[in-house]
C-alpha cells in the first residue's frame, strides 16, 4: 500500500495587513506519497511559497494559521513549539531555497557549515562530509570545503545545500523554485540531483512556475491558484488531458514546438487584498459561466484527479 509521508488537512492560512485579515491558503487537503517528486505549480503569487513556509513554521509575524493540520509521519507539525520544530527543520525536513546564499552563513566556511549538520560527530565525520559532496558531484571538494559561500557560484551553493540534506538524512525535501537563479545547464544538473535524491528514497515537494520542469522531473502535480488547489493529478495524465481551465491556460503558454504561437493567460493574478466571489479564477477564465461568479465550485473527483471547477459538477 502507498505510504504518505506528509498529509495536509483543511489548512487555512492568511495575513493581517493594516488590521484586515486576508486569506492566502483556503482549506487545502493534500497528501504526499513517500519516495516521489511532487510538484506544486502555478504563477507567482498563487500561494506556493506560503504553503512551504507554513510546513516549516517560517511564516512572517503577520501570518496566522486559522485552521488545519500538517501531519509529518503522523505528528502534527502545527502543534510543535519553536524548539521542537527546529529539531525537525534542516534535519528530518530540509529546504532547498530559491536563493541558496540566504541559507548559508557568509561568515563560516562550507566545511564548518556542513559539520553543523552532522548529528553524531565521530572519526568518520570528515568522510561523511566528503562523501555527500561527492554524491552531489562536486569535483574540487577540498577547495570547496575551505571556501566561504560568496566564493562559490549559485549552482555550487545549491549543491552544498543538497549535500546538507544528505548528511542530515532528511526524509522530506522542500525545494522552493531551486533553479530560478541559475542558468539552464546548471539548472538541469541540479534537477538531476533531485532525481538522485528520489532514487535514494527521499520525498521531494518541488515548488515551480515552470511546467516543463513538472513534465520532466515530477511524479504528481498540484496546480495552485490564489490559495486553492484547483487540480491534482499524476503528471502524465495532467499533460495528456488537463481538466481545469487554469491548467489548460498554463499548458497553452508552454513552448512545445517551433513556430507554435504561445497563448497568454488573460489578465493577471489578483493581489491577496482583492476579494473575489465565486471561483477565484473567473475573471480570467475562458469558460466562465454565471454560476462561477457567485458560487465557489466543489471538487470533482474521480480516481485519477481532483478538479475545482463548475464545468465538472454533477447535476
Taking Cα atoms as reference points, which of 170, 168, 232 lies closest to residue 40? 232
Binding-site member from 229, 285, 300, 305 for ligand SF4 (CB under 6 A):
285
Q: Contact region for ligand SF4 (CB under 6 A) — 37-45, 64-72, 106-114, 304-312? A: 304-312
**Does the protein bind ligand SF4 through residue 292 (CB under 6 A)?**
yes
For ligand SF4, the closer of residues 97 and 297 by Cβ is 297
Residue 90 CA from chain centroid, whole number = 16
Size of the site for ligand SF4 (CB under 6 A): 13
For ligand SF4, the closer of residues 157 and 282 by Cβ is 282
**Does the protein bind ligand SF4 through residue 71 (CB under 6 A)?**
no
How far is the C-alpha of 130 from the C-alpha of 139, rounded, in Å?
A: 10
For ligand SF4, the closer of residues 28 and 309 by Cβ is 309
CB of 303 to ligand SF4, least distance (A): 21
Residue 198 in grid coordinates? 528520489
How far is the C-alpha of 16 from the C-alpha of 147, rounded, in Å?
A: 41
| Burial call 186-225: b when 16+ CB within 10 Å, e when fewer | bbebbbebbeebbeeebbbbbbbbbbebbbebbbbbbbbb
Contact between 5 and 203 (Cβ < 8 Å): yes
**Does the protein bind ligand SF4 through residue 21 (CB under 6 A)?**
no
For ligand SF4, the closer of residues 72 and 281 by Cβ is 281
For ligand SF4, the closer of residues 82 and 264 by Cβ is 264
CB of 298 to ligand SF4, least distance (A): 10
Give the 3-state secondary structure of residue 280.
coil
Residue 277 in grid coordinates? 466571489
**Does the protein bind ligand SF4 through residue 289 (CB under 6 A)?**
yes
The answer for residues whose C-beta is within 8 angstroms of residue 292's C-beta and 6 or more apart is: 278, 279, 282, 285, 310
Binding-site member from 103, 279, 300, 305 for ligand SF4 (CB under 6 A):
279
| Burial call 66-104: b when 16+ CB within 10 Å, e when fewer | eebbbbbeeeebbebeeeebeebbbbebbbbbbebeebb
Burial of 159 (0-12, 13-18, 19+ CB in 10 A): buried
**Does the protein bind ligand SF4 through residue 265 (CB under 6 A)?**
no
**Does the protein bind ligand SF4 through residue 288 (CB under 6 A)?**
yes
CB of 285 to ligand SF4, least distance (A): 3
For ligand SF4, the closer of residues 111 and 306 by Cβ is 306
- Indicate the angle between helix axes 154-167 and 184-199, nearest 10 degrees: 10
CB of 184 to ligand SF4, least distance (A): 32
Binding-site member from 16, 21, 287, 304 for ligand SF4 (CB under 6 A):
287
Binding-site member from 282, 300, 305, 306 for ligand SF4 (CB under 6 A):
282
According to CB under 6 A, which residues from 214 to 253 bind ligand SF4? 245
Residue 150 in grid coordinates? 560568496
For ligand SF4, the closer of residues 203 and 232 by Cβ is 232
Q: Contact region for ligand SF4 (CB under 6 A) — 53-61, 69-77, 91-99, 305-313? A: 305-313
Burial of 285 (0-12, 13-18, 19+ CB in 10 A): buried
Judged by the rule CB under 6 A, the positions of this chain that interact with ligand SF4 are 245, 279, 281-282, 285, 287-289, 292, 297, 309-311
Amino acid at each position: 500500500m502507498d505510504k504518505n509521508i506528509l498529509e495536509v488537512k483543511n489548512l487555512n492560512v492568511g495575513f493581517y495587513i493594516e488590521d484586515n485579515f486576508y486569506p492566502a491558503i483556503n482549506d487545502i487537503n493534500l497528501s504526499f506519497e513517500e519516495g516521489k517528486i511532487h510538484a506544486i505549480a502555478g504563477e507567482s503569487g498563487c500561494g506556493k511559497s506560503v504553503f512551504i513556509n507554513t510546513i516549516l513554521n517560517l511564516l512572517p509575524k503577520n501570518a496566522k494559521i486559522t485552521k488545519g493540520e500538517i501531519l509529518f509521519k503522523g505528528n502534527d507539525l502545527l502543534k510543535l513549539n519553536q524548539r521542537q520544530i527546529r529539531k525537525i527543520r534542516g534535519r528530518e525536513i530540509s529546504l532547498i531555497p530559491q536563493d541558496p546564499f540566504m541559507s548559508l552563513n557568509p561568515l563560516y566556511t562550507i566545511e564548518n557549515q556542513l559539520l553543523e549538520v552532522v548529528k553524531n560527530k565521530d572519526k568518520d565525520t570528515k568522510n561523511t562530509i566528503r562523501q555527500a559532496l561527492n554524491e552531489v558531484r562536486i569535483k574540487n571538494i577540498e577547495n570547496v570545503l575551505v571556501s566561504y559561500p560568496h566564493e562559490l557560484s549559485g549552482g555550487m551553493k545549491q549543491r552544498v545545500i543538497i549535500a546538507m540534506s544528505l548528511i542530515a538524512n532528511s526524509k522530506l525535501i522542500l525545494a522552493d523554485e531551486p533553479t530560478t537563479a541559475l542558468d539552464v545547464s546548471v539548472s538541469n544538473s541540479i534537477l538531476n540531483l533531485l532525481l538522485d535524491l528520489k532514487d535514494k528514497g527521499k520525498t521531494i515537494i518541488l515548488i515551480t512556475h515552470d511546467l516543463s520542469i513538472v513534465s520532466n522531473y515530477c511524479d504528481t502535480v498540484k496546480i495552485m491558484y490564489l490559495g486553492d488547489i484547483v487540480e491534482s493529478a499524476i503528471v502524465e495524465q495532467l499533460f495528456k488531458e488537463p481538466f481545469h481551465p487554469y491548467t489548460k491556460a498554463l499548458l497553452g503558454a508552454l513552448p512545445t514546438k517551433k513556430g507554435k504561437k504561445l497563448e497568454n493567460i488573460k489578465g493577471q493574478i489578483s493581489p491577496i487584498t482583492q476579494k473575489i466571489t465565486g471561483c477565484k479564477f473567473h475573471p480570467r477564465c475562458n469558460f466562465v459561466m454565471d454560476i462561477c461568479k457567485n458560487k465557489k465550485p466543489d471538487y470533482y473527483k474521480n480516481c485519477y484527479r481532483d478538479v475545482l471547477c463548475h464545468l465538472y459538477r454533477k447535476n
